Amino acid sequence: MEALEDAAFSSGAALARLDAVLRRDNLPQALLRDRLALRAAEACMVFAGRQDRAGDLRDAVHLLRPGDLPGPAGETCLAWRRAVARPVGLRALHRALPDCAPAQIAVWLDARQGAPIARAAMVLEAVLTDLPRGEVPALILADAVLAQALGWDHLVPLLAPGLQRADLRKRGDELRLACHRAGAASALQAVRDAADLARRAAHLLAVAPKLRAKGAKDAVAMFLTQEAVAPAALPLSDRAARRLCDRLVALGAVRELTGRETFRLYGL
């Protein structure tokens, strides 16, 4: 079994590398966080024993009509997206977790001491002790504490994608070891994601001057902040939005994410 000290060293090195990447000017920060939020939500679906995957989560959020309820998958994905959208703080966390009272969130966040991953593991354990089926709030709050400990303004989802379902039943040193492993693996994956998104964002910005549609500039800004975008959400008419998306695909600047002929979604 890997020693806790060795795992802590590995996670520390991976987080330090990610920290350096997050400080680069050419990185579309909001887009990276949105992509990681989707991955965290997908992991939470696995923890809950559900079959929903990334495509299902995108549909549950981006194809909602006014008055529709998002369902469990949509609620989970929206919670993560809200958690990463604003700087870490009690108000932002309550917005992401409206069923958790702000006073209770504050109590859970105080259950921490030591190094960043150790603090996150303590919060994870504290929430799951009080809410045995509260994987979503537990993981969001654990990542919030991790971000605060590392001096990051925004929550960066790292623990959920790297943990296994059985890890959430662990406590004490076993849980800390699992969190160190998860943090290390997810941080390195986030570094790879960041490099990919920085390259794709640079290409989108390079082809943007070729776009003549009114509202194209605002549309490009949406693609640079959201992991997936529905044409109907763009600040253009339906026809113009579809034409813009087709143009961006032809230019290699965005991808069609669903493989469908209708109700399509696009993203970097």
Q: What is the pLDDT of residues 109-134, one digit of tens each?
A: 986 678 999 999 999 999 999 999 99
Does the pLDDT value for residue 26 go beyond 80?
yes
| Residue with the two structure tokens 């579309």 | 28
Confidence of residue 90 (pLDDT cuts 50, 70, 90): very high
Mean pLDDT calculated for residue range 8-13:
95
At 35, the amino acid letter reads R
My answer on whether 100 and 224 are in the same domain is: no
Q: What is the pLDDT of residues 63-72, one digit of tens each?
A: 988 888 889 9
Mean pLDDT calculated for residue range 60-83:
93
Mean pLDDT calculated for residue range 72-83:
97
- State the pLDDT at residue 112: 63
86 occurs within a structural domain: yes
Write the Ramachandran bin of 194: left for phi over 0, alpha for psi from -120 to 50, otherwise beta: alpha
Does the pLDDT value for residue 1 go beyond 60?
no
My answer on whether 186 and 252 are in the same domain is: no
My answer on whether 184 and 228 are in the same domain is: no
Computed over every residue of the chain, the mean pLDDT equals 95
Q: Over the range 99-137, which residues count as b (16 or more CB within 10 Å of their CB) and which as e?
A: ebeeebbeebbebbeeebbbbbbbbbbbbbeebeebbbb
Mean pLDDT calculated for residue range 10-39:
97
Mean pLDDT calculated for residue range 175-191:
97
Which residues, other chains included, contact 200 with Cβ-Cβ below 8 Å and sequence gap of 6+?
A: 253, 268
Contact criterion met (CB below 8 Å) for 126 and 147:
no
203 occurs within a structural domain: no
User: Rounded to the nearest 5°, which phi and psi values hold at 229?
Assistant: -135, 130
Residue ending a domain, among 142, 168, 196, is 196
Contact criterion met (CB below 8 Å) for 42 and 54:
yes
Q: What is the pLDDT of residues 218-248, one digit of tens each?
A: 999 999 999 999 999 999 999 999 999 999 9
CA count, 13 A, side-chain hemisphere, 267:
21
- State the pLDDT at residue 11: 96
My answer on whether 111 and 141 are in the same domain is: yes
My answer on whether 189 and 244 are in the same domain is: no
Contact criterion met (CB below 8 Å) for 262 and 245:
no
Sign of the CA dihedral 175, 120, 168, 130? positive
Determine the Cα–Cα distance for residues 78 and 136; give it in Å rounded to an integer.
Answer: 11
Mean pLDDT calculated for residue range 125-149:
97
My answer on whether 191 and 224 are in the same domain is: no
Which residues form the domain of 176? 4-196
Mean pLDDT calculated for residue range 26-42:
97
Which residues, other chains included, contact 134 with Cβ-Cβ below 8 Å and sequence gap of 6+?
A: 127, 128
- State the pLDDT at residue 111: 64
Number of domains observed in the structure of the chain: 2
Which residues, other chains included, contact 120 with Cβ-Cβ below 8 Å and sequence gap of 6+?
A: 112, 142, 143, 145, 146, 149, 159, 179, 183
My answer on whether 216 and 189 are in the same domain is: no
At 161, the amino acid letter reads P
Determine the Cα–Cα distance for residues 42 and 62; give it in Å rounded to an integer.
Answer: 15
- State the pLDDT at residue 67: 82
My answer on whether 248 and 149 are in the same domain is: no
Between 98 and 3, the more confident residue is: 98
- Proportion of the chain above pLDDT 90, given as a percent: 93
- State the pLDDT at residue 68: 85
> What is the helix (H) or strand (E) element at residue 60, kind and residue range?
helix 54-62
Confidence of residue 204 (pLDDT cuts 50, 70, 90): very high
- State the pLDDT at residue 65: 85
12: number of Cβ within 10 Å? 17
